[in-house]
Amino acid sequence: MLRAENLTKRYRQGEKEVVALAGFTYAFPLGATAVVGPSGSGKTTLLNLLAGFDLPTEGGVFLEETPLHRLPEDARAEVRLKRMGFVFQQWNLIPTLTAWENVAFPLLLAGIPPKTRRERALELLERVGLEARASHLPSRLSGGEQQRVALARALALDPPILFADEPTGNLDAESREQVASLLFEAGRERTLILVTHDLELAARAERILHLKGGRLAREELLRPTR
């Protein structure tokens, strides 16, 4: 569904040209793919390019047959809203909205009617075990609870692609396990692309892509590809 072809990103740093990603080619199948590598290996650059937050210097990103890299920003934003979900290390919840209102926010942007928005948000909060906290503001939620709200929000429009960037990096051990279990459960029915330094978390994916120096060094298959 989502594939990168010769994906390359270069930029200037003073007089020096930096190659953040070089010749990355990969077709992401259904299920969870973890992307690992040392700092500076190109993980975040890859995620930004795949999601259309940034544009490649060379090569392209294709969602089915749609060339994301050739779309204008407003069209890429529409694709992100309706076809992609995002879970970040920083939860990025809107502090003035309750848990259910945060989950419902993508539905509002998509023009879903109010009654349906609320029903869908409450359904997702129940799925992540937070139905009793639906009316709480983020400031009244623990870190693990905020991340579960963020995951519910990412699933609001049932996107076929889910991105997760260090989703358990700020959590304690118990919350980490809760979020990881929910994340990989969601990843079974869609394409999950997980960027992480946590090799234990990465090992729960079906495959691991190892980046080094902006290049795909190797692919490690842990479970059969669907």
Q: Is residue 74 part of a domain?
A: yes
The β-bridge relationship of strands 161-165 and 84-88 is: parallel
pLDDT of residue 220: 96
Is residue 226 predicted with pLDDT exceeding 70? no
Structural domain contains residue 119:
yes
Has residue 225 been placed in a domain?
no
Q: Would the pLDDT of 77 be above 90?
A: yes
In a domain, 226, yes or no: no
Q: What is the pLDDT of residue 170?
A: 85
Average pLDDT of the segment spanning 5-29: 93
pLDDT in tens, 166-195: 999 889 899 999 999 999 999 998 999 999
Alpha-carbon distances, residue 141 vs 38, 79, 137, 138, 174 (angstroms):
32, 30, 7, 5, 15
Q: Is residue 216 part of a domain?
A: yes
Per-residue b or e along 187-213, where b marks 16 or more CB atoms closer than 10 Å to that residue's CB? beebbbbbbbebeebbebbbbbbbbee
pLDDT of 42 strictly over 80: yes
Residue 204 has pLDDT above 90, yes or no: yes
In-domain check, residue 86: yes
Question: How many CB atoms sit inside 10 A of residue 77's CB?
Answer: 14
**Domain carrying residue 173:** 2-220
Residue percentage of the chain with pLDDT more than 90: 88
**pLDDT for 178:** 93
Give pLDDT tens digits for 54-71.
999 999 999 998 999 999
Residue 225 confidence (pLDDT) above 70: no
How many domains is the chain partitioned into structurally? Answer: 1
Alpha-carbon distance of 195 to 36, in angstroms, equals 6
H, E, C per residue of 127-164: HCCCHHHCCCCHHHCCHHHHHHHHHHHHCCCCCCEEEE
Write down the pTM of the prediction.
0.94
How confident is the model over 102-159, as pLDDT tens digits? 999 999 999 999 999 999 999 999 999 999 999 999 999 999 999 999 999 999 999 9
Here the CATH number for the domain that contains residue 38 is 3.40.50.300
Can you give the pLDDT at residue 14?
84
The model's confidence at residue 1, banded by pLDDT at 50, 70 and 90, is confident
Type of residue numbered 13: Q
Q: Is pLDDT above 90 for 13?
A: no
